[in-house]
Structure formats: C-alpha cells, structure tokens
C-alpha cells in the first residue's frame, strides 16, 4: 500500500533586516532538524520543555540533535499557564547558570505558548541574549506565539505584562506534533487562525468556513495550509511593525477582552484561544455598534467559532470587573483603552476611547 503523502516543507521569512529569520513548516521535521537549525559557534543547545511535551516529542528532537552532532542538555519545567511566572523563569535561569550556558549556546523552546514565552524571555535575559529557536508543539503556538518575538511572564494583576521583544533565530513548525494534542487545545489554536481571517483576509475566512470538517479531522494538507496562511499574515505584519507601534496592534483582536477573561477566571480555567474566541465575539458585537460592522459579518464570525467548538459566551465577571481588568491592558495609552474592532470581515481598525 502506498504510504500517505506528506505535505511539503514550506519556508517563510520574517523580514527584519539583519534579524530576519526563517519559519519552516512541514511534517516529521524533528529527527532531521539539523539542516534547519541556524549555525551555532558552540555546537551546543539547551532544550526547555515540560514533562507532557517531553513524553511525546523530546526523544525525536534529541535524535535529530545527535545526528547533527549538537551536544545538548534539557531543562524540564512544570506544565500549565499557572507556571508562566517569575518563579519558573528564575528556575530556568538557575539551570542555565548551573549548566554553564554561554552567550553562544542555542536555547530551544520545545512546547506550546507557555514554554515559548518562558524560554524566549530566558534567552533574552541570560547574559543579555542568547540564540533562540522556537519549536512550537501546539496549534496556537504554531500559528501565533512562536512568530514575532513576544516573550514574557504573567503577573497576578495582568497577563503578559512583564517581558521583552526578542526575535528567534528560527521557528520550526512540525505539524506531526499536533497528533498528540488534546481536542480542546487544538480547537483553542483554531481561534487564532480565525482571527487572521477576521482582521486581514476575507479569503482565508471564507476558506475556513468551507473547511471546518477537514480541519477538525486534522487533515494534513488542510492543516498545513491553515498554518502557512496564518504565519504568512503574521510575518507580514511583524515585518512592518515589529514593536507594535501601529499595524501590529491589529493582531490583538479579541485579546483585550480575552486577557481579562483569563485573569478574571483564574489562569488555566480558560485556555488562551477559548478566551480569545469569546473576546472576539464581544469585540464583534461592539463593532456593530461602533464601526458599523454588518450584523451578517458578526453572525458569520460567531457561527464559525461555534462550529470549531469554541465558546462564544464569555463568563459573567460583571461589567466593573471587566473594566478593571481591561484598564490594566498593555494597549491602554494615555490612560485610555484602545480596542481592535472590525469594520467588516477582513478589515480591522484600532479605536481609541470607545464610548
């Protein structure tokens, strides 16, 4: 019997002049990872991961590093959003010092968004910067957090409030790692894919509406297309506005409400993509009133999120609690909240001081 055909490896470039880097997308990339990694003067790497990801994917990555004659060590941290904090970051730094990591040692983040953010912040701050390679293993991290250089930790008063912009040397997306991802986490990642269509590409949004079932069944070719299009859109936006002084703010559609949900409900109660999905629904409903977004587009967004099994009703935190949490958001400027709203599917705008 002929084996199933693998989706071809694709490579995008995040164009940031001398700090440009590739985003490699394909299946079964870990064991042959040597030719995808940037050169390292030290010939050494340190992997940061958690016990859940390690059980599924660490062996294959280590096999790939051994084939490439790259000496490596492993730092394992606890799993979960609740551990994306100063204490875990401090533990990573302690291990880097104990392992005598040098400025030229490559730090590899193997995991989802929490691992990518923690390892990225550690790479940005250990000896004021060491090479970073992102190997995201969740759909959400593959289409969003691994690309663009945002790193950081949470604080009890706000999500991602402490961190740095620090670009990786490469992002390696192995879609085969998604085979072990629980359905709830997989759906959480689809929320970010929907976001790209909603803010930038009506064509992507319509394509998603036509490919719900293949995506839910994790069809390899369909999934590869969704990942590629999401990364392409994000790479374009990051290249134009690396530090979020303008256009990059559009990527926060649904996130101001979403971050308030995550903090208000308690870190980990809602997955990030679930909170963003509910946040997009709130932002779209507000868009109908503020920007004149067609009610039909609002319904399309809500229906698509629902078809992917994502929540479209936010938790009842109370208006005062929502406003309190949103007032601490990074997008507050001059004491006034900026919200990303939609004029239509594929057309996002930043609105200041929403009435």
pLDDT tens digits, one per residue of 232-252: 999 999 999 999 888 999 999
Whose CA is closest to 188, among 104, 261, 120, 125?
A: 261
- 292 vs 294: CA distance, rounded Å: 6
Mean pLDDT over residues 12-26, rounded? 96
Query: How would residue 5 be classed by pLDDT, with cut points 50, 70 and 90?
Result: very low
Quick: pLDDT tens for 247-296: 999 999 999 999 999 988 888 899 999 999 999 999 999 999 999 999 99
Marked catalytic residue, from 195, 232, 259, 330: 259
In the residue annotation, 93 being an active-site residue is answered as no
In the residue annotation, 252 being an active-site residue is answered as yes
List domains and CATH numbers for the chain.
10-179 (3.40.50.1970), 183-352 (1.20.1090.10)
Cβ partners under 8 Å of residue 189, min gap 6: 138, 139, 140, 141, 142, 143, 144, 181, 273
Please say if the pLDDT value at position 330 is more than 70. Answer: no
Marked catalytic residue, from 192, 229, 262, 274: 192
In the residue annotation, 71 being an active-site residue is answered as no
Quick: pLDDT tens for 149-176: 999 999 988 888 899 999 999 999 999 9
In the residue annotation, 352 being an active-site residue is answered as no
In the residue annotation, 150 being an active-site residue is answered as yes
The pLDDT assigned to 326 comes to 85
Marked catalytic residue, from 44, 272, 300, 330: 272
Marked catalytic residue, from 60, 83, 159, 255: 255
Quick: pLDDT tens for 102-131: 999 999 999 999 999 999 999 999 999 999
In the residue annotation, 259 being an active-site residue is answered as yes
Marked catalytic residue, from 252, 274, 300, 302: 252
In the residue annotation, 272 being an active-site residue is answered as yes
Q: Which two tokens stand for residue 320?
A: 């005062």
- This prediction's pTM: 0.91
**pLDDT > 90: percent of the chain:** 82
């Amino acid at each position: 019997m002929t084996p199933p055909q693998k989706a071809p490896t694709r490579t995008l470039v995040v164009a940031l002049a001398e700090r440009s880097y590739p985003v490699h997308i394909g299946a079964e990339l870990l064991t042959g990872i040597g030719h995808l990694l940037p050169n390292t003067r030290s010939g050494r790497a340190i992997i940061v991961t958690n016990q859940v990801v390690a059980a599924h994917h660490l062996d294959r990555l280590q096999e790939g590093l051994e084939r490439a004659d790259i000496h490596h060590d492993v730092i394992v941290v606890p799993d979960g959003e609740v551990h994306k904090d100063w204490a875990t970051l401090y533990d990573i730094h302690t291990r880097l010092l104990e392992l005598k990591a040098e400025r030229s040692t490559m730090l590899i983040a193997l995991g989802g968004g929490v691992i990518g953010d923690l390892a990225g912040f550690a790479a940005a701050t250990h000896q004021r910067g060491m090479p970073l390679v992102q190997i995201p293993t969740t759909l959400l991290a593959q289409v969003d957090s691994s690309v663009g250089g945002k790193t950081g930790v949470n604080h009890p008063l706000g999500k991602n409030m402490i961190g740095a912009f620090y670009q990786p040397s490469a992002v390696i997306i192995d879609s085969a790692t998604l085979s072990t991802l629980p359905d709830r986490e997989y759906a959480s990642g689809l929320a970010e894919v929907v976001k790209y269509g909603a803010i930038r590409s009506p064509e992507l949004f319509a394509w998603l509406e036509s490919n719900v079932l293949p995506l839910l069944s994790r069809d390899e070719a369909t999934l590869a297309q969704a990942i590629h299009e999401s990364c392409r859109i994000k790479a374009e936006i990051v290249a134009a506005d690396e530090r979020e002084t303008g256009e990059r703010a559009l990527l926060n559609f649904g996130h101001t409400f979403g971050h308030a949900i995550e903090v208000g409900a308690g870190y980990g109660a809602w997955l990030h993509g679930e909170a963003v999905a509910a946040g997009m629904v709130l932002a779209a409903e507000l868009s109908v009133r503020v920007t004149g977004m067609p009610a039909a587009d609002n319904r399309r967004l809500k229906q698509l999120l629902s078809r992917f099994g994502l929540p479209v009703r936010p938790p009842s935190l109370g208006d005062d609690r929502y406003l309190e949490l949103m007032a601490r958001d990074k997008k507050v400027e001059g004491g006034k909240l900026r919200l990303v709203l939609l004029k239509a599917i594929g057309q996002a705008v930043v609105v200041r001081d929403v009435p």
